[in-house]
Amino acid sequence: MAETSMVSDDDTVPHFIYTFSSLLQRVADCNDALSVANCHRLPPPAAASAFSAVAKPEISIPCYLERIFHFARCSHSCFVVAYIYLNRFLRLHPTFCIDSLNVHRLLITAVLTAVKFMDDRYYNNAYFAKVGGISLTELNYLEVDFLFGLRFRLNVTPTVFESYRSILERESNIVSPRIPPRLNFLLGEEESSSSCKQMEIIV
């Protein structure tokens, strides 16, 4: 069942999509509350600040993700992969946190990246920008920021895929799911930022 729900052409939104958005919603709410409580909030690191909107977008996270789901028409697996990318991004940038100003942009960029890496057929950035309600220029910059932020680590092993898929599918059945430990939502110190994007691959 798990396998087929990932490749089906069905238009109904699979339950794990709702789990995904409720997880994000909770993390964002939590961080919003923290940043209000914490008067000494540090500015976000340069690379990550690109994801912040000036004002909180009106569309809720579940509606936004559902919208992406309907229009992207990609393999369902791509959403699991997008979830993995967000976790990776956070792990690589421990001081960055998801809040209601940046969660939408992160989400559309993560899904776009997953789809481009995984699927052979997909819509281009111009289309995704329309779906995501942001300008094409902005999405193009976010794409570069996200890829460098992930250090281009896009590959997902079957074991990692399975474990995240099962988190998303299992949490659907729990009334009050806990936040997965890797979705980092605590404030920390600012990481050293650099405006020049460069990746050295250390083997």
> Whose Cβ is closer to other proteins: residue 36's or residue 203's?
203
Q: Does 152 bind other proteins (CB under 8 A)?
A: yes
Stretch that binds other proteins, among 31-39, 41-49, 57-65, 136-144 (CB under 8 A): 136-144
Measure the CA–CA gap between 148 and 153, rounded to whole angstroms: 9
Q: Does 201 bind other proteins (CB under 8 A)?
A: yes
- Contact with other proteins (CB under 8 A) among 1, 39, 40, 158: 158
Measure the CA–CA gap between 146 and 164, rounded to whole angstroms: 20
Minimum distance of other proteins from residue 140's CB (angstroms): 5
20: phi then psi, degrees, rounded to nearest 5: -55, -50
Q: Is 199 exposed, middle or buried (0-12, 13-18, 19+ CB in 10 A)?
A: exposed
> Whose Cβ is closer to other proteins: residue 23's or residue 115's?
115
| Interface size with other proteins, residues (CB under 8 A) | 41
Question: Quick one: DSSP state of residue 196?
Answer: S
Q: Can you state the angle between helices 136-149 and 77-92, rounded to 10 degrees? A: 60
Minimum distance of other proteins from residue 175's CB (angstroms): 29
Q: Does 3 bind other proteins (CB under 8 A)?
A: yes
